[in-house]
Chain A
Amino acid sequence: MTEDQEKFALHLINNPPPGSELAKAKEYGVDLTLFISTLRRSPTERARSLSEGARIFQIAKQTHLSEK
């Protein structure tokens, strides 16, 4: 993502045009600011985040099960 793209993305996130999909997502409860951090990453970095997220999910699940 270039500096200009990021600037424009931030503008859209902070001021979603009325009736837009972004406005609907915000209204639904989606944290649009997360898009900036995910879009900054390359697909490989996103893949690493997905694996890490799954690992943390697994730890949380095991902890929950062992506490039962």
Chain B
Amino acid sequence: MKLQETIRILYDAGVEFVVIGGVAMGLQGSAHLTKDIDFCYARTTKNMERLAKALEPFHPVLRGAPPGLPFRFDAKTIANGLNFTLSTDLGDLDFLGEVSGLGLFQDVLGTSDVKDVGGVDCRVLSLEGLIKSKAAAGRPRDLYVLPELRGLNEIKKKTGLE
């Protein structure tokens, strides 16, 4: 997983995104580890074009798809889908158009914080947003992390930490 490099590439390409999922948890201070990077992306034509162009050099393919399955991660493919789980030269990247419990990009953006990650002002889903989305997703692996997220949120609020 090339986290800082991936964020820098998307940022430089002008892609509108919010870091969500396990990486957002880690950036907010959780000790949780993850092997993929999840993003929520804006579904405007321009953003989908920028996203496709930014990832093209890193050979995105559908994760877990049979080898040789024709797939092209271009703006048209993105427009015709919503959520994509990709394997790329940067590692496993997931791009979600919608997040459980929160909604579409603008809703997710509204519950995000700005974090300086390697010199990039990056939008990261807030602890409140993570708690809401994990509770709504409701899978065992989502519910499992809720006590840690709620405890972390409480300690950050009480100590005034960002």
Determine whether the beta carbon of B35 is less than 8 Å from that of A12.
no
**Residue B151 lies at the interface, judged by CB distance under 8 Å to chain A:** yes
The reply to whether the CB of B115 lies closer than 8 angstroms to some CB of chain A is: yes
Q: Which residues of A contact B56 (CB under 8 A)?
A: none
Chain A stretch 8-67: residues in CB contact (< 8 A) with chain B: 8-9, 12-13, 20-22, 24-26, 28, 30-32, 34-35, 37-39, 42-44, 46-51, 53-55, 57-58
Partner of A8 from the list B30, B122, B158 (CB cut-off 8 Å) is: B158
Q: Are A43 and B27 in contact (CB under 8 A)?
A: yes
B37 to chain A, nearest CB (A): 9
- Known pairs A25-B148, A57-B35; A39 contacts B4 (CB<8 A): no
Total interface residues on B, using CB and 8 Å? 35
**Cβ A47 vs Cβ B118 within 8 A:** yes
Q: Which residue of chain B is the closest to A41 with respect to CB atoms?
A: B29
A44 touches B116 (CB 8 A): yes
A residues in contact with B82, CB < 8 Å = none
B147 proximity list for chain A (CB < 8 A): 21, 24-25, 28, 30
In whole angstroms, how far apart are the Cα atoms of A35 and B113 in the complex? 19
Are B152 and A50 in contact, with the CB atoms below 8 A?
no
Q: Is the CB of B159 within 8 A of A22?
A: no
Closest to B30 in A: A38
Q: Which residues of B contact A22 (CB under 8 A)?
A: 151, 154-155
Residues on B with C-beta less than 8 A from A12 are 155, 158-159
Q: How far is the CB of B51 from chain A (nearest CB, A)?
A: 20
CA gap between A39 and B145 in the complex, in Å = 17
Please report the C-alpha to C-alpha distance between residue A5 and residue B157 in the assembled complex, in whole angstroms: 11
A22 to chain B, nearest CB (A): 5
Taking A25-B147, A34-B31 as given, write out 4 further A-B residue pairs in contact, using a Cβ cutoff of 8 Å, ordered by the A residue number. Answer: A9-B155, A21-B151, A50-B33, A53-B34
**Contacts from B to A (Cβ < 8 Å):** 1-4, 7, 23, 26-27, 29-31, 33-35, 91, 115-119, 122, 124, 147-148, 150-156, 158-161
